Every structure is written in C-alpha cells, then in structure tokens.
C-alpha cells in the first residue's frame, strides 16, 4: 500500500444537533482524508452535512450542535482535543474557510480593508497601519483593481464577486496550509464563478496549499478537484479520484447525480432525477440512508439495504470506496452482493434483521 501524506484526516466524525424533535444526525460517521497539495471536492445536495462536517473540523458548530464522537487530525495534531486558546491560532492561520454568501459573510459595519487587516493583527500582531497596508497588498493579489481605494469600501458597496475576492484575500492572508471553500461560487453568476475558480487555482499553485471544495456543482468538481467525496445524509457514500467518479460511479446515488446533469450534444426529453427526497436525519435507522430512493435496490430485489447499514469499503482499487450493498458481502446475514468484490462488511444491524435465505 502506498504511503500518502495527509494534511487532514477525519475519523468517524459524528456531529449531532440536539433539537426538540430529537437528535439530528447531521454528520454520522464521516471518514475522510485530504492529501497535502490536493483539492478534495465534497459533493452532495443541500442538508447532507457537507458544511457541518468542515465546520466541525474548525470546531465552529454552535449550539444546539455538538461533536459527539470522532477525531480530526490536522498535520498529526488532534484538533478536537486542543484547548480553545490553541484552536484560535489554527483558525484563519493554518486552516482558513470561505463561505457561500460573500456579502453577508462580511461584517456590514466595518470597511473591507479593516476586516482583512484584522487577520494580520490577530495572527501576526501587526499594528493597525501595518496590517491595513498588508491587507491592501492582499486585496491587490486577489485581483481587486485599485485595491487601496476599495479597501475603504463597505461590503454593501461591493459586488458579490468582489466580496468573494475579499473573503479569499482574508482566507489566504496567512498563507494557510488548508483552505476550506464552502460553496464559494454558488451565489455568483457564471462568468464571475469562472473568474473566482481561476483565481483559486492560481493562488493554490502559488501558495501550495490544499483545498477542500464543498459544492453541489459537479461541473466545478470536474474543473477543480483531484479526489471527490460524495456525501448523502450525513455520510460519505463514495470516495475516489475525479476521473473515476465521472467514468465509473459505483454508488446508485452518485450515478443518479451524474445522470441528472445535462450533457452537451446529447438530446434528452427529460433529465434523469432521483425519486423521493432527502431523508429526515432525526434518529435514523441502521440501514442504507439512500435505500428508499434507490432504483438499484428494487431492480436487484435487495432486502438487506433496510436491515443493515452499509460501510464505506474499497471496490476494485484501494482508493475507490463505496458505501453500498451492491458491492460488499455480509457474512453475518449470509448475504452475497450482486456485484460482489469479495470484501465483507460487519455492519450495525436493525433489531429485525434476519439472515437471507440461502
């Protein structure tokens, strides 16, 4: 097995929200690694837990949410065990994060230059004048014309694209080792989106950082990512390199996602869609979260999907992992998968689970 240099490893991360309706398992056992220097795309529909996963990495999940289990290792250091006083030295310094709505992510009552400068004041102890000067340099670096004057602007005086550049300047101010970009282009129109993606790629080359790119846009993933993790209902359901995910997606959910994208030059009367809606994450059963919407389950007549929770295990190559009963056997239930890879899962079972008739 090849040795890989991971900048970030997430082990069995569980972040639950304790609401009046019950425990919402927003992130339910996520295992993920980000390799040094690569861009990891994290894909999934709204509410699948992709943002919460990385908010948990920075420990920014607020009440009523809480990380209940798991481990986050950044550069060999376990982040969840750090005291808050050391955690603040990592946020914005070693790991930076930028968000979806750039204008509302900037504080409306402070000038943008001052908001970027605050990063230098916080992490380098610069005085305000020096910090503002560095901030203007940063703003120029992210392609803001007339940076010195724009630094005096308030967020509401900027366009969405410009505001996202400010957020990027803020994120990259301390040349972080890892940038978490949470849908940074979703709120922008397409031409601006392309500009921002180009900018991020160029800056990544220059700084040599790793990027986690959270998005629901597979086009952006194809353009930016080296590896892709597909999330569904608080879990990673498929993980592989970007070529494989488009060439041979294994998990029915991934296949559905890809099928729902229009392809240039192919005439279709109707785009494919995944039937049903995202499941309720309050106290989910020990079963495949995608089972109720899964066509493959019906086609193969599988009952195990609703009795046992599949695990994220390799298929074919070691880097391609899937969480699906189509590919893994379950000896304890006498189950052999239709596309068995010979790899066995030892899942959590529903109390009612019964071994399949041989």
Which among 67, 46, 47 is positioned nearest to 58, based on CA atoms?
A: 67
| 199 sits near another protein (criterion: CB under 8 A) | no
- Whether 175 and 5 have beta carbons less than 8 Å apart is answered as no
| 156 sits near another protein (criterion: CB under 8 A) | yes
| 35 sits near another protein (criterion: CB under 8 A) | no
Q: Cα separation of 321 and 235, whole Å?
A: 12
| 80 sits near another protein (criterion: CB under 8 A) | no
In angstroms, give the least distance from the CB of 231 to another protein.
Answer: 20
The residue (of 179 and 330) whose beta carbon lies closer to another protein is 179
Q: Which of 118, 177, 309, 329 binds another protein (CB under 8 A)?
A: 118
Q: What phi-psi label fits residue 186: left (phi over 0), alpha (psi between -120 and 50 degrees) or beta? A: alpha
| 192 sits near another protein (criterion: CB under 8 A) | no
Q: How far apart are the first and last CA of the chain?
A: 35
| 109 sits near another protein (criterion: CB under 8 A) | yes
Q: Which of 2, 3, 20, 63 binds another protein (CB under 8 A)?
A: 63
Q: Would you list the DSSP string of 294-319?
A: -HHHHHHT-SGGGTB---EEEESEEE
In angstroms, give the least distance from the CB of 198 to another protein.
Answer: 23
Return phi, psi of residue 219, to 5°. -65, -45
| 91 sits near another protein (criterion: CB under 8 A) | yes
In angstroms, give the least distance from the CB of 218 to another protein.
Answer: 25
| 108 sits near another protein (criterion: CB under 8 A) | yes
The residue (of 80 and 336) whose beta carbon lies closer to another protein is 80
* C-beta atoms surrounding 63 within 10 Å: 7
- Whether 272 and 260 have beta carbons less than 8 Å apart is answered as yes
In angstroms, give the least distance from the CB of 134 to another protein.
Answer: 14
Stretch that binds another protein, among 21-29, 103-111, 142-150, 307-315 (CB under 8 A): 103-111
| 125 sits near another protein (criterion: CB under 8 A) | no
E strand or H helix that includes residue 181: strand 178-182
Which residues contribute to the site for another protein (CB under 8 A)?
58, 60, 63, 84-85, 88-93, 96-97, 99, 101, 104-110, 118-119, 122-123, 154, 156, 167, 170
């Amino acid at each position: 097995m090849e040795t890989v240099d991971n900048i970030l490893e997430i082990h069995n991360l569980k972040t639950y929200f304790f609401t009046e309706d019950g425990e919402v398992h927003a992130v339910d056992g996520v295992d993920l690694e980000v390799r040094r220097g690569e861009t990891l795309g994290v894909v999934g529909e709204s509410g699948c837990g992709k943002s919460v996963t990385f908010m948990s990495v920075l420990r920014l999940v607020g009440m009523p949410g809480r990380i209940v289990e798991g481990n986050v290792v950044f550069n060999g250091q376990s982040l969840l065990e750090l005291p808050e006083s050391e955690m603040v030295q990592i946020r914005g310094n070693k790991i930076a994060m930028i968000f979806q709505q750039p204008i509302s992510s900037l504080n409306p009552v402070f000038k943008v230059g001052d908001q970027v400068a605050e990063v230098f004041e916080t992490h380098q102890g610069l005085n305000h004048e020096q910090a503002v000067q560095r901030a203007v340099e940063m703003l120029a670096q992210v392609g803001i014309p007339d940076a010195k004057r724009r630094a005096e602007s308030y967020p509401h005086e900027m366009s969405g694209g410009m505001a996202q550049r400010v957020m990027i300047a803020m994120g990259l101010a301390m040349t972080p080792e890892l940038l978490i970009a949470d849908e940074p282009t979703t709120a922008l129109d397409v031409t601006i989106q392309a500009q921002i993606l180009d900018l991020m790629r160029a800056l990544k080359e220059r700084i040599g950082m790793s990027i986690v790119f959270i998005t629901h846009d597979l086009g952006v993933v194809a353009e930016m990512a080296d590896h892709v993790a597909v999330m569904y209902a608080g879990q990673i359901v498929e993980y592989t390199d970007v070529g494989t995910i488009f060439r041979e997606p294994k998990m029915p959910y991934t296949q559905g996602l890809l099928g729902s994208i229009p392809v240039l030059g192919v005439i279709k009367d109707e785009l494919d869609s995944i039937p049903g809606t995202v499941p309720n994450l309050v106290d989910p059963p020990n079963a495949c979260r995608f089972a109720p919407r899964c066509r493959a389950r019906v086609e193969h007549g599988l009952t195990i999907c609703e009795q046992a929770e599949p695990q994220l295990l390799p298929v074919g190559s070691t880097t391609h992992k899937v969480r699906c009963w189509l590919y893994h056997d379950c000896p304890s239930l006498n189950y052999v998968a239709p596309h068995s890879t010979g790899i066995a899962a030892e899942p959590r079972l529903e109390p009612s689970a019964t071994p399949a008739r041989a």
